[in-house]
Each structure stands twice: as structure tokens, then as C-alpha cells.
Amino acid sequence: MRRPIIAGNWKMNKTVEDALDVAIGLKRKFYTFGEADIVICPPFTALSKVGDEISDSSIMLGAQDVYWEEEGAFTGEVSPKMLKDVRARYVIIGHSERRVLFGETDEAVNKKVKVVLRYGMIPIMCIGERLEERDNGTTYEVLEKQLTRGLKDIPKEDVGRIIIAYEPVWAIGTGRTATPREAQEAHKFIRDFIEKHFEKEASVKLRIQYGGSVKPDNIAKLMAEEDIDGALVGGASLDVNTFVQIVENSIL
């Protein structure tokens, strides 16, 4: 049985104070919680304080991006060493907003996944097709390309540690979720890809999150699907009560 993992991606929202309010609220509810992994990914400015706040609880810290060098003249970037320093355990990589708005390539995603693994953190590698790609029937080609390039040269014993987030771009922040069946088909495709290109053991262990307009009222049906192991939640993770409900409904 794969352990469910629900992650909140706060994106470019929340001052340090607002981030702490949410962290404290979640901690009150999930101080000890054994039924799923809960990860919150505040903006860089709030990582350190939120990390301190949740360090004695079952909630884990994640970052929203990383650069692949350890240190140096890379203005504006944040290194894996710095993330490790603030006790981040997870790092979101290749989110569609980074790909679409900031030109992040599969090659950059691949370097980031490798460095995060090297630092003993867990990458959450995001993949997903755009609306026109779904409409013209190329969804699986797009996923295959993102997987092939994003996971290039990753040793097979490491692949099972990675989390893949399937996030159809047309479902992000739009209120339009993939149906549980659409999501399950994509998740199965991803698991089969890992079995074919790496090994069966890794594909069985691999946790695949769904992301895109996840809400308290649709999470249970998504999680009921065999290959959906969790969710990467954007907008609905910004409010304590809504995120608490999502976590609770995910393990129904």
C-alpha cells in the first residue's frame, strides 16, 4: 500500500505572518497524524519560519523550486543546500507555471530532480498536458516526453523515491478538474512508463499525485482510483479549514 501524500503549494501567496497563521492552524489539527504525509510549500521568504514552526509536528516542509548549483553567482536563485538548511524535505520541480511563464525546460527539470535527490530531499516532479494537447489527442506523447527527459539518467533505485505530480495544465486554477477516470488513465500511463523504463519495484513504490482544482468535495473520488496516491493542491491549500478537509477526505 502506498502512503497517501497531500501537498499544499502556496505559490506566490502569504507574507511570513500569514504563512505562520496557516502553519499554526494546520499544526493544531495535524500535530500527530499517521494516515497520510502532509506537506506544505510556502514561498521562499517564509520557509525558514514555517519550518521552525512545524518542526515538532507531523507536517513536512516543501519548497516550490530550486536551482541545481550549490552556491555561487546565480542572482535570484536558491540552492539545494539552502533548502536543506531550512529543513525542507520536498521540492516541487517543473510546475507548469514555471514551464509556461518562466520557460523552464525538461532539461532544467532533470538537473533539478537529480540535485534534489543528491541532497536527500524528495522531488515532486510535475508533468501535464495543455488543453490544446489534450484536444488534439497528444496527451500521452507529451507525458512520455516529459517523463523521458525529466527522468533521464536517474538510477532505477532512486526513481521510486520521486513523487510525480500529474497536473493537466487546463485544470490548474480553472475550477475544471480532470474526472477521476481521466486522471486514473494518466496515472496508470505514468506507472506503466516507470515499469517499462526502470523497474517494476520502482513503479509499485512510486507515488503519483493528481493536481488541478482539487477541492474538499472532489478529493475522495480521485483518491479512490487505484493509481492516484495523493494530491498537489494550489488554491484550496491557502485556507486552513479547506486544506484540513481535503486531507481528511483524502483518507475516507
235 near ligand PGA (CB under 6 A) = yes
128 near ligand PGA (CB under 6 A) = no
User: CB under 8 Å to 247, separation ≥6 — which residues?
Assistant: 6, 30, 33, 36, 38
Among 53, 104, 129, 167, the one annotated catalytic: 167
Near ligand PGA by CB under 6 A, which window of 59-67, 139-147, 150-158, 212-220? Answer: 212-220
**Least separation, in Å, of the C-beta of 173 and ligand PGA?**
4
167 near ligand PGA (CB under 6 A) = yes
Beta pairing class for 230-233 and 59-63? unpaired
Near ligand PGA by CB under 6 A, which window of 42-50, 104-112, 155-163, 230-238? Answer: 230-238
**Residues 61-120 contacting ligand PGA, CB under 6 A:** none
| Residues 170-189, mask of contacts with ligand PGA (x by CB under 6 A) | --xx----------------
Angle between helices 16-30 and 44-54 in degrees, nearest 10? 30
Q: Are 110 and 71 in contact (CB under 8 A)?
A: no
Measured in residues, the chain has a length of 252
Three-state DSSP state, 124:
strand
* Cα–Cα dist 243/216, whole Å: 8
Of residues 23, 46, 88, 214, which one binds ligand PGA by CB under 6 A?
214
37 near ligand PGA (CB under 6 A) = no
**Least separation, in Å, of the C-beta of 157 and ligand PGA?**
28
232 near ligand PGA (CB under 6 A) = yes
**Least separation, in Å, of the C-beta of 245 and ligand PGA?**
14
**Least separation, in Å, of the C-beta of 132 and ligand PGA?**
18
CA distances (Å), 140 to each of 95, 166, 184, 205, 237, in order? 18, 12, 13, 22, 28
The question of whether 197 is a catalytic residue gets the answer: no
9 near ligand PGA (CB under 6 A) = yes
124 near ligand PGA (CB under 6 A) = no
209 near ligand PGA (CB under 6 A) = no
211 near ligand PGA (CB under 6 A) = yes
236 near ligand PGA (CB under 6 A) = yes
Distance, CA of 72 to chain centre: 27
The question of whether 167 is a catalytic residue gets the answer: yes
Q: Are 238 and 14 in contact (CB under 8 A)?
A: yes
* Cα–Cα dist 58/60, whole Å: 6
- Based on its alpha-carbon atoms, the radius of gyration of the chain, rounded to whole angstroms, reads 17
- Angle, CA 147 vertex, CA 141 and CA 153 arms, to 5°: 135
Binding site for ligand PGA (CB under 6 A): 9, 167, 172-173, 211-214, 232-236
